[in-house]
């Protein structure tokens, strides 16, 4: 199968969906001729013109609100938020407006809007351009949240996000834009709420999202050499969450670590760990561990920044100790 970058995969998804549905459009800062600072959208304005690839002023709440209004009245906007850290600026439009319209109207209005943005530290970008804020939006009923872990997921999840009738926040790992993966030429969509078992194993389950899937896979390779068989599962969407696949895996392995690049406190890892505790308690041989980013603002200094994110070695070490029967705390 051909291999393309995550950036190309997103671009292909957008091109295919914009050709298919004339009510779709892209709106955000420097999305047109510049194709965003990450160059993910290169070529789109040439095909679809500036009426459907719309450059905005630096007004995040404004253009997210515009997306909500366009979605409420029959369009399918794809709103581009340059950095995930800017989610804080658009919380009202996203969480008070987009998320609640369907419910508050008794099901009469809906907001088929995609907000695409990114996450990820270790790019030496400092505390305001490195955060992974999926927990903030995943907390709010009415929003779906997709976290692609490779080019393949990035394309298939984006296509589903655009066709879904709800606000969907899709967060890409900005360090992965140039990473290649096999992506079929023929059209495909990845359904929401279907986890992907990346690697089968029998001793421990590693539930990992987005950037942390690679980390978990690398940890599994380390563990394999030591005779520990780790199963790696990527939920792909955290809202909706495919609990069933996760629970079945844990029933089989009886141990689990949940890994996500958001801060660990009150985060995605805690939520998933808690569901596993509630729903697979009698099958567990050890507490489910959480491994999120350290609860510090992301520091600039490379030596410090690298300490804040879970690593394959850290995951392997925790897995080793869990399998050895040590009741430990996550790193």
Partner 1 sequence: MTSKTKTRTRAKTASGPSKEEALRMYTQMVRIRTFEDNANQLYLSGKMQGLTHMYSGEEAVAVGICEALTDSDRITSTHRGHGHCVAKGANYKEMFCELLGKQEGYCRGKGGSMHIADQNHGNLGANAIVGGSMGIATGSALRAKLLGQDDVTVCFFGDGATAQGLLYEVMNMAALWKLPVIFACENNGYSEYTKTEEIAAGSITARAEAFGIEAFQVDGQDVLGVNELSKKLVARCRDGDGPFFLELLTYRYHGHHVGDINREYYRSKKEEADWKENRDPIIRFRAWLVEQGIAEESEIDALNAQIKQDAKEAVAYAEAAAYPGVEEVDMHVYAETDPATLRAGK
Catalytic residues: 60, 129
Can you list the pairs that 274-281 forms with residues at least 24 positions away whose Cβ atoms lie under 8 Å?
275/241, 275/243, 275/246, 275/247, 276/246, 276/247, 276/250, 279/243, 279/247, 280/247, 280/250, 280/251
Site residue total, partner 1 (CB under 8 A): 54
Counting contacts by CB under 8 A, is residue 48 touching partner 1? no
Cα–Cα distance, 149 to 144 (Å, whole number): 16
Q: Which of 92, 194, 226, 306 binds partner 1 (CB under 8 A)?
A: 92
Counting contacts by CB under 8 A, is residue 160 touching partner 1? yes
DSSP-derived secondary structure for 216-255: HHHHHHHHHHTT--EEEEE-SEEES--HHHHHHHHHHHS-
C-beta closer to partner 1: residue 126 or 142: 142
C-beta closer to partner 1: residue 22 or 37: 22
Residues paired with 120 in a beta bridge: none
Q: Which of 37, 39, 46, 165 binds partner 1 (CB under 8 A)?
A: 165
Cα–Cα distance, 14 to 25 (Å, whole number): 9
Nearest 5°: phi and psi at 136?
Answer: -60, -45
Q: Please identify, among the stretches 159-167, 217-225, 249-257, 323-331, the one whose residues bind partner 1 according to the rule CB under 8 A.
A: 159-167
Query: Do 229 and 248 contact (CB within 8 A), yes or no?
Result: no
Counting contacts by CB under 8 A, is residue 175 touching partner 1? no
C-beta closer to partner 1: residue 240 or 287: 240
Q: Is 152 helix (H, G, I), strand (E, B) or coil?
A: helix
C-beta closer to partner 1: residue 65 or 120: 65
C-beta closer to partner 1: residue 103 or 281: 103
Give the shortest CB-240-to-partner 1 separation in angstroms.
8
Query: Do 1 and 28 contact (CB within 8 A), yes or no?
Result: no
Counting contacts by CB under 8 A, is residue 209 touching partner 1? no
**Interface residues with partner 1 (CB under 8 A)?**
22-23, 25, 51-52, 54, 56-57, 59, 61-75, 77, 92-93, 96-97, 101-112, 141-142, 144, 160, 163-166, 186-189, 191
């Amino acid at each position: 199968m051909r291999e393309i970058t995550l950036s190309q995969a997103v671009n292909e998804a957008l091109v295919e969906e914009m050709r298919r549905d004339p009510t779709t459009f892209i709106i955000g800062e420097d999305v047109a001729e510049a194709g965003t600072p990450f160059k993910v959208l290169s070529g789109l304005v040439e095909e679809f013109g500036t009426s459907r690839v719309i450059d905005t002023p630096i007004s995040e709440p404004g253009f997210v609100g515009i997306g909500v209004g366009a979605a409420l009245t029959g369009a399918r906007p794809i709103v581009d938020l340059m950095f995930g850290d800017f989610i804080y600026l658009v919380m009202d439009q996203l969480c008070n407006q987009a998320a609640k319209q369907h419910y508050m109207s008794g099901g009469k209005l809906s907001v088929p809007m995609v907000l695409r943005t990114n996450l990820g530290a270790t790019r030496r970008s400092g505390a305001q351009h490195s955060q992974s804020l999926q927990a903030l939006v995943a907390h709010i009923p009415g929003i779906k949240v997709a976290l692609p872990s490779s080019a393949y997921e990035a394309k298939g999840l984006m296509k589903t996000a655009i066709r879904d009738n709800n606000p969907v926040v899709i967060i890409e790992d900005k360090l992965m834009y140039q990473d290649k993966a096999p992506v079929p030429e023929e059209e495909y969509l990845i359904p929401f709420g279907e986890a992907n078992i990346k690697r089968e194993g029998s001793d421990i389950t590693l539930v990992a999202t987005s950037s942390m899937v690679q980390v978990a896979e690398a940890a599994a390779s380390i563990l394999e050499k030591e005779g520990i068989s780790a199963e790696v599962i990527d939920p792909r969407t955290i809202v909706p969450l495919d609990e069933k696949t996760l629970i079945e895996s844990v029933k089989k392995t009886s141990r689990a670590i949940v890994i996500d690049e958001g801060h660990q406190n009150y985060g995605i890892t805690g939520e998933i760990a808690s569901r596993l505790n509630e729903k697979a308690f009698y099958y567990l041989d050890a507490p489910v561990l959480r491994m999120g980013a350290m609860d510090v603002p992301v520091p600039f200094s490379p030596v410090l920044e690298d300490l804040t994110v879970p690593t394959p070695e850290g995951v392997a070490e925790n897995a080793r100790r869990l399998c050895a029967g040590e009741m430990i705390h996550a790193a």
